[in-house]
A and B are shown apart, each in its own frame.
Chain A
Amino acid sequence: MADVSGPPKESFRLSQLIYDSRYRSLTIQVVATFLLTAAIVWLGMNLVENLNRLGRGFDLGFLWQRAGYDISQTLIPYTSESTHGRAVLVGMLNTLLVAFLGCILATIIGVIAGVLRLSNNWIVSRLMAVYVEGFRNVPLLLWLLLIFAVLTEATPEPREFRPDENGVAAYSMFLGDSMAFTARGTLIPAPVWEPGSGVLVVIFIASIIGAFVWRRHALRQLYQFGRVVPILWPVLGILILPTLIGFFLLGRPISLEYPVLGRFNFSGGATISNAFMALWLGLSLYTGAFIAEIVRAGILAVSKGQTEAAYALGLRPRRTLSLVVLPQALRVIIPPLISQFLNLTKNSSLAIAVTYPDIRATLGGTAITTTGKELEGLLLMGLFFLALSFLISGVMNFYNSRVKLKER
């Protein structure tokens, strides 16, 4: 009879920490964590040490001091008497504005260019290839400077709109003197809200809701009963007619204020500054080129059989794209699209190159040079972009979980 003894008793030796695969990963993690912590502590101590030697503690008090400088584009009331904190807020809002509008325009440009690049029309697809390669392969800063230079150099100064002694001006405004392109910005009429305009806004919002209700009704008719109810024209009618009728019934409560040439600049109306325009267009065109490639990849990722099946069912190419291909492509498109949105948002910090007053120009520029709080300013700016990026990826991930393939 064989002498059966139990399994050898576990005895732990120190060398097992390295040679035993059960412990090795743990060892590596502990060592790595320790080194990382030591590095961070060392950097932190170095920072505190150096700041102390310079006699400058970490202090955010400057945010409550008077800023003393003016900002060209303010979405909230701001004067040079306001605090640095408010100037920072103005910069943040300007960043948010250009990032938000940039993401929308970049998506529109990207989807159109991506789809057209797959077009069977040789010229169209080549043109889109030129656009994509041209914008993807040239640094964004150069595009921004180019667009800005075109906007400022190729457009007339406001005083060139003033008639000379013969009553002839070198340049004139467009669309019945309502619009003008100048070296400083694009001037457009601004709405003037008079009493009763609130009612009109309510009517308009109600008609938007009405349009959605009609669309749902039409789709239900289609899916449940197979009845085709027209969508486009009724929706347009619902959107426009009640507001239009209300507009005249209420005695035109909203009027347009046209820009008028003053001593130096146009006054009245609204000005879209060239700085904003250049940054917005530059960011959108640049990021749009990347999004176009993502969209193209997403469409190509949908099996050709899907398209053929749709054709076999008699769907026209356009419907095939919108009903069969794009919904499936979205699952591939959304995750890389998130990082493009993040890129666009972060790239917006190039704003000062085109004189746009974003957070980099207020907090990261004038505020830290006048107060000397470089560290605090840069940390705050980093935190802002971090928080913004988390917010964007959070929203986009939520959307992604809605459209992704539901596995049951």
Chain B
Amino acid sequence: MKKSVFFGVLTAAGLVAGASAAATLDDVKARGTLNCGVTTGLTGFAAPDANGEWQGFDVAVCRAVAAAILSDPTAVEFVPTTGQTRFTALAAGEIDMLARNTTWTFSRDTDLKFDFTGINYYDGQGFIVPSALGVSSAKELDGATICIQTGTTTELNLADYFRTNNISYEPVPIETNAEGQQQYLAGACDAYTTDASGLAATRASFENPGDHIILPEIISKEPLGPLVRHGDSEWGDIVRWTLNALIAAEELGITSANVAEMSSAPGDNPEINRLLGTEGDLGAMIGLDAEWAKRAIMAEGNYGEIFEKNIGETTPIGLARGLNAQWQDGGLLYAPPFR
């Protein structure tokens, strides 16, 4: 009898603890900071700058979410994760969201119990090789040694690509992008493979970027996006619609420069009004105040601004918008209506 009471209490305690853990929004508000999982360092996407401040394309998503919820884009605790630690960190609640060049796949969304909240970069896997090697196509890499980050979709794509093309290779498993870069430059591998955006970012940090070429083959689809734990849909909604707000802001012409002015009074476009909270109460529907989207856009600008500032053609990384242009410009970015 006593024993069952004892265990009953324990179980109840466990359940209560579990229930509180499910409300991520309350936890973030109570904590006052957002715990955001990022890479251990990939220039342009997430890397600390000279002052130790995290900067980058993925970092901007974290900052926008923090700004929307906590009114402070700097209230983010960045947790560097590797390809192998990222999912455990998210599943265990160590981080509230993961914005780390993570590919949206079926099994990650379902079996691993995560929810992808959208796509912030449409990518594909490519190869980088030294130009001195004289290789112009990935199919010529028969017998090559290739550096590959373990625990990633790219590791599986690589195996499939070489097997289906009936060519062989020697994998060198590495843990982080920095290690991959070091191994590649030391000549421990002939080629380094990861998402093409990551290759461009990595090449930009080389001493002589011109000595290396990215091969034309893109061997996979890698839709990268932020993700949250499965089971807390309210939290997932906030992250999803913050990202959508950034994308919609670009489409609607809202920038970090004019957002303050546009949100001061209702304008002609009702969608802008709804997004910026001068009309309707979209913010209340996701448990935030009316100005959530305004703050998210003010943090680092709209999607286009974030792209240009961190990885765009004016940066050393020099990525073209390509698939990541707005749908009117022939890209795939298409934010659902704010209504």
Contact = CB atoms under 8 A, between A and B. Distances in A.
Contact of B14 (A49, A71, A182, A183): A49
Interface string A210-251: 000000000000000000000000000000000000000000
A271 B136 CA distance: 27
A265 B151 contact: no
Given A53-B18, A152-B186, A365 B112 contact: no
Contacts of B186: 149, 152-153, 183
Interface stretch (B36-44, B137-145, B298-306): B137-145
A353 B178 CA distance: 12
Interface stretch (B27-35, B84-92, B258-266): B84-92
B284 interface: no
Given A355-B183, A369-B151, A70 B14 contact: no
B23 interface: no
Contact of B173 (A53, A156, A265, A355): A355
Contacts of A156: 187
Contacts of A366: 84, 150-151, 155, 173
A359 to B, nearest CB: 13
A122 interface: no
Contact of A71 (B160, B171, B183): B171
Contacts of B189: 184
A282 B112 CA distance: 36
A50 B171 CA distance: 36
Contact of A265 (B113, B145, B160, B171): B145
A115 B106 CA distance: 60
A55 interface: yes
A80 interface: yes
B132 interface: yes
Contact of A264 (B14, B91, B141): B141
A182 to B, nearest CB: 8
A49 B144 contact: no
B205 interface: no
B159 interface: yes
A182 B190 CA distance: 12
A80 B159 contact: yes
Given A152-B188, A361-B150, A369-B84, A49 B172 contact: no
Interface string A137-180: 00000000000010011001111000000000000000000000
A408 to B, nearest CB: 54
Contacts of B83: 369
B175 interface: yes
B150 A274 contact: no
Given A152-B183, A265-B143, A361-B173, A69 B159 contact: yes
22 contacts: A45-B7, A49-B11, A54-B91, A54-B230, A68-B156, A69-B159, A70-B158, A184-B170, A262-B143, A264-B143, A264-B145, A265-B170, A361-B150, A361-B173, A365-B84, A365-B151, A366-B84, A369-B152, A370-B107, A372-B107, A372-B112, A372-B113
